[in-house]
Amino acid sequence: MAGVLLALDLETVDEAVNLAHAVKPHVAGFKIGLGLLHGEPGSIERVVEVGLPVFVDAKLHDIPAQVEQAAKQLGRRGARWVTAHLSGGTGMLEAAVNGLAEGSGGRGGILGVSILTSLDDDDLVAIGMNGPTGAAVERLARMAAGVPVEGIVCSVHEVSIAREAAGDLLMVTPGIRPSAVEDHDQKRTATVEAALRAGADYLVVGRAISSAADPAGVAAAIAEEMVGYTVV
């Protein structure tokens, strides 16, 4: 069964932990983004205590030695998954895998970030990356298949492309929201149904749940919508 990873994109750790407890019965884990990660100390540890896997979206991208040390520290703090940009290359990704494995005692896995959902084809042209988006994701996914990362983070629009290129790696899709919710700063979004039909393993949902008047109710509704779908 596919699962939701709730993005805890909130101002304080207390708010994040309270929300995590409220929706815990309806989600598969939690995502800690850069805001919370670089805010109050202890964010990872406190969310880990809620009792579900924690996905630290650190988006590591540096020289291999620095990435290895950062991944090791995040693993020590309890991260189940840590993200690193695939564009950092195989040497950097291998360093991230090694660092996280050491820090987590072998329990953690690296998720390679392909193309951010805030970018589209015009943005790739502006930054000098060969596009279109699907072709760029395919190149990165093929590279990822040769590195021991656990999965790939990509838009639902490129899930099938990434899966064909990378085989059995986990597919984690951000930008997921019910149809009535705004896209905000993301350009390549999709509904829950579209993500599941595309073959996503984990769906990252943020403001659709965290900004709702009844976050637990929305999370429960999404979980109900997912019943009957199986991981590809």
pLDDT in tens, 180-204: 444 444 444 567 888 888 888 999 9
Give the chain's domains with CATH numbers. Answer: 3-226 (3.20.20.70)
Q: What is the mean pLDDT of residues 119-145?
A: 83
Task: Render pLDDT for 2-25 as a digit per residue (tens, 0 to 9).
Answer: 789 999 999 999 999 999 999 999
99 in Cβ contact with 75 (< 8 Å): yes
Give 18's contacts (C-beta < 8 A, 6+ positions apart).
Answer: none
Residue in this structure with the two tokens 């149809």, named with its chain if needed? 179
For residue range 96-130, list pLDDT tens digits in order: 999 999 999 999 999 999 887 787 778 788 877 87
pTM of the model: 0.87
The token pair that represents 169 in the structure block: 């790696």
C-alpha–C-alpha distance, residues 18 and 59, integer Å: 25
Residues 218 and 232: their CA atoms lie apart, in Å, by 25
Percent share of the chain, pLDDT over 90: 59
The residue among 135, 188, 124, 199 whose CA lies nearest residue 165 is 135
Instruction: Out of 24, 31, 59, 72, pick the active-site residue.
Output: 59
Is 187 an annotated catalytic residue? no
Beta strands in the chain (DSSP E): 3-7, 29-32, 54-60, 81-85, 109-113, 151-153, 170-173, 202-205
**Residue 43 pLDDT greater than 60, yes or no:** yes
